[in-house]
Amino acid sequence: MSENTPRVVVTGLGLVTPLGISIDENWNALMEGKSGIGPVTRFDSSRLPTKICGEVKDFDSEKYISKKEARKMDTFIQYVIAATSMAFEDSELSTENKESERWGAIIGVGLGGLPSIEANKELIQEKGPGRLSPFFIPTLLANLAAGQVSIRWGLKGPNSCTVTACASGNHAIGDSMKCIQRGIADVMVTGGSESCITELGMGGFCAMKALSCRNDDPESASRPFDSERDGFVMGEGSGILILENYDHAIARGGKIYAELVGYGLTSDAYHITSPDPDGYGASRCMQMALDDATIAPEDVDYINAHGTSTPTGDRLETAAIKNTFGDHASQLAVSSTKSMTGHLLGAAGGVESVYTVLAIAKECIPPTINYEKPDAECDLDYVANSPRKANVNIALTNSFGFGGTNATLLFKKVE
For the annotated catalytic residues, the residue numbers are: 166, 306, 343
Task: Return the HEC string of the chain.
Answer: CCCCCCCEEEEEEEEEECCECCHHHHHHHHHHCCCCCEECCCCCCCCCCCCEEECCCCCCHHHCCCHHHHCCCCHHHHHHHHHHHHHHHHHCCCCCCCCHHHEEEEEEECCCCHHHHHHHHHHHHHHCHHHCCCCHHHHHCCCHHHHHHHHHHCCCCCEECCCCHHHHHHHHHHHHHHHHHCCCCCEEEEEEEECCCCHHHHHHHHHCCCECCCCCCHHHCCCCCECCCCCECEECEEEEEEEEEHHHHHHCCCCCCEEEEEEEEEECCCCCCCCCCCCHHHHHHHHHHHHHHCCCHHHCCEEECCCCCCHHHHHHHHHHHHHHHHHHHHHCEEECCHHHHCECHHHHHHHHHHHHHHHHHHCEECCECCCCCEECCECCECCECCCEECCCCEEEEEEEECCCEEEEEEEECCC
